[in-house]
């Protein structure tokens, strides 16, 4: 099955998203109908999971009748086109819609955490909600199944319940973890990045495990792929593991259908055990992927906090010195110039004393934002301490660096900082500049900053609100 399309953005044409939802449900129904054994319900039925996932990703859809009507049309059209009796189709698809509605009501308070799996407990929530949705569908479906197939109520109940659990736990995570937009809008380069970074070794291990399971056979074959799937979960992330879970379980289902299980009521115990076993096994790699993703995000946030000043977003002094030292060394090897600017907000203590530290923080934040709007990707900007900032400009001649310093000074002078009484506060800037072409072995970052600091002291001594500096060729 191709990955279900996901919609999260408002469509320019109001009819487009409802029609795409209808088409998604219709296609998923056709896939399920193709898996129906003679004289009984489908072996797989992804339509309910696809519909529930789309509604959870687009909460406003479920609060109006349009999405539900489109879904019902998709269900019924697929059944009518494939020759199903209309009364049976209406009853079974009514049960499908009721199960989706029950699932949506259960998941609605947790939608923010399960869409994208942004919380560790999302996997347990998925299991609980899928169980409730499956039961909400199985209860009304049981009398319809009895009437349609002249079978026993308990058998029909377990067959439907295990089928819904299987489908929801395999297809719903894929829909919930998919990227934003419909599938043709996805950033495929970003999606394939984990594969390029981690390589194909986890996939090859998964293929080897499945090949071994196929040739060994027996009840234990269900668990052969779990270690490789866990490896894939850690290597590739949440969305790829939902795809791999679905592919592996679909493959095992196809092998079982061709070999030992007919997915008919006369094999109730085997069918129920197989479906529930496959569905629950898929949760382990998913839980690992979610935990690994959340851990990586936490570490990234911690690294961001360590490397950047929390108030202004500029590089921290430590990170600026680390990156700047490497940059100066590289420029020396390349024979390229470098310029260093030290910038100090004039009379900043007066701002804190007269207008409060909150106003002072506002000035620091807005100044940092002003500087960052003028930077190139290769420039380094950091907060040295208090109201003092440093700017390292690689491959920048002295004359150009002086123009940059003058531009920043002028922009800050013209920038109105609004006070609580509505008046504007004017802030000026003193800049010390040192530039060299190119930096020699003796021109460490510390020495460059020391020379820029001397120039900054000169700018302050001469009345502030100006740029002062000197530059040298190897000296």
The 10s digit of each residue's pLDDT in 323-367 is: 999 999 899 888 899 999 999 999 999 999 988 999 999 999 999
User: Which residues have a Cβ under 8 Å from the Cβ of 284 and sit 6 or more positions away?
Assistant: 226, 229, 230
Overall residue count recorded for the chain in this entry: 475
Q: Decide which of 284 and 422 is more confident.
A: 284
> Using 50, 70 and 90 to split pLDDT, how confident is the model at 255?
confident
User: Which residues have a Cβ under 8 Å from the Cβ of 451 and sit 6 or more positions away?
Assistant: 340, 434, 470
Say whether pTM exceeds 0.95: no
Kindly tell me if the per-residue pLDDT of 150 is higher than 80. Answer: no
| CA–CA dist 374, 49 (Å, integer) | 48
Kindly tell me if the per-residue pLDDT of 397 is higher than 80. Answer: yes
User: Which residues have a Cβ under 8 Å from the Cβ of 38 and sit 6 or more positions away?
Assistant: none
DSSP 90-150: HHHHHHHHHHHHHHHHHHGGGHHHHTTT-STTHHHHHHHHHHHHHHHHHHHHHHHHHHHH-
Cβ neighbours around 145 below 10 Å, total: 25
Kindly tell me if the per-residue pLDDT of 303 is higher than 70. Answer: yes
Kindly tell me if the per-residue pLDDT of 254 is higher than 80. Answer: yes
> Which is the CATH superfamily of the domain at 317-472?
Reverse transcriptase/Diguanylate cyclase domain (3.30.70.270)
As a whole number, the mean pLDDT across the chain is 89
Cβ neighbours around 350 below 10 Å, total: 10
Kindly tell me if the per-residue pLDDT of 427 is higher than 60. Answer: yes
Domain ranges of the chain: 16-303, 317-472
| CA–CA dist 351, 427 (Å, integer) | 9
Q: Which parts of 294-418 are beta strand (E)?
A: 338-345, 380-385, 388-394, 417-418
Kindly tell me if the per-residue pLDDT of 473 is higher than 60. Answer: no
pLDDT of residue 407: 95
Kindly tell me if the per-residue pLDDT of 472 is higher than 90. Answer: no
Q: Hey, CA dihedral for 5, 61, 282, 249, is it positive or negative?
A: negative
Q: Find the DSSP H helices in 199-237.
A: 201-216, 226-236
Cβ neighbours around 37 below 10 Å, total: 12
Axis-axis angle for helices 65-81, 16-34 (nearest 10): 40
Angle at 322 between CA 317 and CA 323, to 5 degrees: 100
Q: Hey, CA dihedral for 388, 394, 396, 398, is it positive or negative?
A: positive
pLDDT in tens, 448-469: 999 999 999 999 999 999 999 8
List the single range of 24-28, 80-84, 229-233 with lowest mean pLDDT.
80-84
% of the chain with per-residue pLDDT over 90:
60
Lookup: tokens for 79: 């059944």
């Amino acid at each position: 099955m191709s990955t279900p399309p996901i919609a999260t953005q408002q469509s320019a044409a109001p009819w487009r998203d409802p029609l795409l939802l209808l088409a998604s449900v219709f296609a998923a129904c056709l896939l399920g109908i193709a898996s129906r054994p003679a004289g009984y319900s489908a072996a797989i039925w992804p339509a309910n999971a696809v519909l529930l996932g789309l509604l959870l990703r687009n909460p406003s859809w479920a609060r109006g009748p349009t999405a539900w009507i489109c879904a019902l049309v998709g269900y019924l059209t697929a059944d009518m086109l494939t020759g199903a009796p209309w009364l049976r189709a209406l009853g079974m698809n009514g049960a499908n819609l009721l199960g989706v509605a029950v699932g949506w009501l259960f998941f609605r308070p947790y939608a923010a955490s399960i869409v994208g799996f942004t919380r560790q407990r999302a996997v347990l929530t998925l299991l609980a909600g899928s169980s409730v949705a499956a039961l909400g569908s199985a209860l009304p479906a049981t009398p319809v199944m009895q009437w349609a197939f002249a079978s026993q109520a308990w058998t029909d109940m377990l067959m439907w319940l295990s089928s819904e659990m299987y489908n929801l736990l395999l297809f719903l995570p894929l829909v919930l973890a998919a990227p934003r937009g419909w599938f043709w809008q996805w950033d495929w380069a970003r999606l394939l990045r984990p594969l390029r970074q981690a390589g194909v070794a986890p996939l090859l291990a998964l293929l080897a495990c499945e090949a071994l399971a196929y040739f060994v056979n027996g009840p234990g074959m269900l668990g052969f792929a779990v270690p490789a799937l866990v490896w894939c979960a850690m290597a590739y992330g949440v969305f790829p593991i939902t795809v791999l879970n679905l592919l592996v379980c679909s493959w095992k289902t196809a092998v079982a259908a061709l070999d030992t299980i007919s997915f008919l009521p006369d094999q109730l115990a085997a069918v129920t055990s197989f479906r529930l076993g496959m569905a629950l096994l898929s949760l382990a790699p998913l839980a690992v992927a979610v935990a690994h993703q959340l851990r990586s995000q936490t570490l990234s946030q911690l690294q961001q906090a360590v490397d950047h000043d929390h108030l202004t977003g500029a590089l921290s002094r430590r990170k600026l010195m680390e990156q700047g030292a490497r940059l100066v060394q590289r420029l020396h090897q390349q024979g390229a110039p470098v310029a260093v600017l030290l910038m100090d907000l004039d009379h900043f203590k007066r701002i804190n004393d007269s207008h409060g530290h909150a106003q002072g923080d506002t000035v620091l934040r807005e100044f940092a934002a002003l500087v960052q709007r003028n930077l190139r990707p290769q420039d380094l900007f950091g907060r040295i301490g208090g109201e003092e900032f440093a700017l390292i400009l690689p491959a920048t001649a002295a004359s150009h660096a002086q123009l940059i310093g003058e531009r920043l000074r002028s922009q800050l002078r013209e920038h109105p900082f609004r006070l609580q009484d509505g008046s504007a506060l004017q802030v000026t800037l003193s800049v010390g500049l040192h530039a060299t072409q190119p930096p020699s072995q003796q021109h460490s970052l510390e020495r460059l900053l020391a020379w820029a600091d001397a120039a900054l002291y000169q700018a302050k001594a001469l009345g502030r609100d100006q740029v002062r500096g000197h530059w040298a060729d190897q000296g």
